[in-house]
Structure 1
Amino acid sequence: MKERIKQIKQKVEGRKRSNKQRKDGSERITKEQNNYNNQSPFDRKFIAKVFNYAGLFEG
């Protein structure tokens, strides 16, 4: 469970960095990076439960 939380946190941080790049317009995201972000072994309900458990997301 801790490993999954760690993986999800890393994905979230990666997305935050890529979103900053988009806003700055300094660097385009490659197709490989975009495809990696879209390939998730977790469903959204599970991710929401983990985030709520970890206290990262309230909603």
Structure 2
Amino acid sequence: MKLRPKLSTPVLRKGLAVVAGLAATFAIAVALHASGAGAEIPRNSQHIPCPQPAALPAPPTWT
């Protein structure tokens, strides 16, 4: 009957470092989202339509 080996300190430390890094990344993303940084979209209700391309010439008619 084998017992489960204990986690070694380096493995545990590496795992905690990964979790801490993910938590820090998530916290930075939440802070940036809350501050509105990087939002280049104007928040007005007026809609500006995109310019329409020039009308294409009529296709040639062969007689």
**Greater helix content:** 1
Say whether the fold is shared (TM-score over 0.5).
no
Q: Radius of gyration: which is bigger?
A: 2
**TM-score between both structures, scaled by the size of structure 2:** 0.41
Structure with more contact order per residue of length (Cα contacts < 8 Å, sep ≥ 6) = 1
**TM-score between both structures, scaled by the size of structure 1:** 0.44
